Chain A
Amino acid sequence: MDDKRELLDLLLRDARESPEDIARQTGLDAAAVETLLTELEEEGVVRGYQAVVDWDRVDEEHVQAQLELNVELDRETGYEEIARRIAKFPEVSSLRLVSGDFDFAVDVEGKSMHDVSQFVSERIAPIPEVTQTVTHFVMETYKERGIEMGDTDEDDRLTFSP
């Protein structure tokens, strides 16, 4: 595996690894790690670094919904154009074109169910190409980006074993 790919694997696991610690784990030196990181960012491979938050443990209202969107294309308007327009809304946290019964799968976040419903009905539904929306409010999140949200199982191994 080349160094960049290895670096990517490490960052996918923990984006807060310091270049020094990455260097220790890969056998590269810290300066080389910094260079590779910069390259990954400049090439647009690494688009950002974010925390994975369990909103149930944050003392505020936070609502997430998954949206199914169907759209109608015409000669001038393709998926790209429609996607660009929808992606601009800050309420939209992810947007994907998918195969199957509908076209776009959209993740939407807001402060309340009312907020999210209003956003869908006033911002998304009126887009001329959008022919249908189905909104699924998230009731419980069990796993996000590979991280489980429940209480982690305690390490029940003995302190010493041969």
Chain B
Amino acid sequence: MSRHLSTRAQETPPSGIRRFFEVAEEMDDVISLGVGEPDFSAPWAARTAAIDSLERGRTSYTSNRGRRDLREAIADRVERYDHYYDPDDEILVTAGASEAVDLAMRALVDPGDTVAVPEPSYISYTPTVSFAGGDSLPVRTRAEEEFALRYEDLERAGAADAEALVLCYPNNPTGAVMSEDGLAEVAEFVEEHDLFVLSDEIYAALRYEDDHASIATIPGMRERTVVFNGFSKAYAMTGFRLGYALGPSEVIGAMNRIHQYTMLSAPTTAQYAALEAIEACDDAVEDMRRAYDRRRRFVISRFNELGMDCFEAKGAFYVFPKCPPGWEDDEAFAEALLEEESVALVPGRVFGEGGEGHLRVSYATGMSELKTALNRIESFVRE
């Protein structure tokens, strides 16, 4: 059989969290802090818009780029981040931000090109770079900098020779965010070395201390940046699979050429839900954001009380504490914790360089489960 499989497929390693997943699935009473999606359901208004569209028989393809009214609504919406994009040719609606990332890699990366990927990072960038025939270059970010990307990190990793740079802030898995000054520093490097930027801003709405800043808004960067966002995280609509890309028309056009042959158009039902989400669900988003913020403070306090050094992550719904004293190996810790206390979290090393010795903890879980989980971790650590 395997002789039929492509080298590319065979060489792609399975996701590092799969082994854990199989163990956890066999267990009862597991509290999972390993989930990378909201525990809330999509806002009811968005769900009813989807139902309405189905009742009216809106089940055909849409335009490749996505429904015109949705693109206009997106253009309006992203103005809050100082993004100004033309719904005609600078916005592409995709099947999740994941599709947008894949399209951008394929539209921008030639075989042999290098894409710099700050790590720890979300696990999909490196595989999508290699699907496009490129090589990824890990850029290690540091705990001392609260995992924000610094100019010297790029320098040290040799990113000067790369063709493109991926950014993901607010960050999965660390919860790190970038300040405007920090972004300006990165932009300087990008311009000096003529890189193109793929900025995954899917967690933009989940900032807790200040507003989101996008690298695309820094002078000179708009024409060399494609921004990804979507409805999964802010609106708790992961299963709808709806995202979008913003960028210069040339890049969006190239992405659309691939998209029209592979996806045709993003799911129609989801596009109706998304339009309603933009128009009617701001309050629901704000309620969720505030709930996350409380949980965020709670888990950060608890981990620090337990001696598990946890910096104050200011975005997304993750914190990234260190293993407690006496535990060097994050994977061993996560495994033992799962076995003994039935609490599931993800070892930091899964997310690449710089993640070792850390744990990704998702607080997209109800307050009472979080309390129980932290009590269990406490009894495990105190043993």
Contacts and interface: CB of A to CB of B under 8 A. Distances in A.
A157 to B, nearest CB: 5
A99 interface: no
Contact of A161 (B36, B298, B302): B36
A21 B172 CA distance: 26
B367 interface: yes
Given A21-B371, A25-B298, A26-B297, A162 B39 contact: no
A14 B370 CA distance: 14
A150 to B, nearest CB: 14
B302 A24 contact: yes
Contact of A157 (B20, B37, B290): B37
Contacts of B301: 23-24
**Chain B, interface size: which category?**
20 to 34
Contact of A159 (B21, B122, B124, B298): B21
Contacts of A26: 294, 297
Given A14-B367, A24-B301, A24-B302, A160 B294 contact: no
B124 A158 contact: no
A27 B294 CA distance: 9
B277 to A, nearest CB: 19
Nearest to A9: B290
A103 to B, nearest CB: 33
A27 to B, nearest CB: 6
A10 B294 contact: yes
B295 A159 contact: no
A152 to B, nearest CB: 10
Contacts of B294: 10, 25-26
A146 to B, nearest CB: 12
A155 interface: yes
Interface residues of A, number: 18
B32 A160 contact: yes
Nearest to B16: A162
B298 A21 contact: yes
Nearest to B34: A160
B24 interface: yes
A162 B15 contact: yes
B284 interface: no
B176 interface: no
A3 to B, nearest CB: 13
Contacts of A13: 367
B295 A160 contact: no
B15 A155 contact: no
Nearest to B17: A160
Interface in B2-21: 15, 17, 20-21
B123 interface: yes
A111 to B, nearest CB: 32
Contacts of B210: none
Contacts of A14: 367-368
A23 B297 CA distance: 9
B302 A160 contact: no
Contacts of B41: 153
A72 B258 CA distance: 75
A54 B122 CA distance: 43
A151 B297 CA distance: 30
Contacts of A162: 15, 17, 36, 122-124, 172
B42 interface: no
A153 B39 CA distance: 12
Nearest to B293: A25
Interface in B286-320: 290, 294-295, 297-298, 301-302
Interface of A: 9-10, 13-14, 21, 23-27, 153, 155, 157-162
Report, nearest first, the 10 A-B pairs whose CB atoms are least far apart: A24-B301, A25-B294, A160-B34, A159-B24, A161-B36, A24-B298, A159-B32, A160-B21, A160-B17, A25-B298
Given A25-B298, A160-B34, 4 more contacts: A23-B301, A27-B297, A157-B39, A159-B30
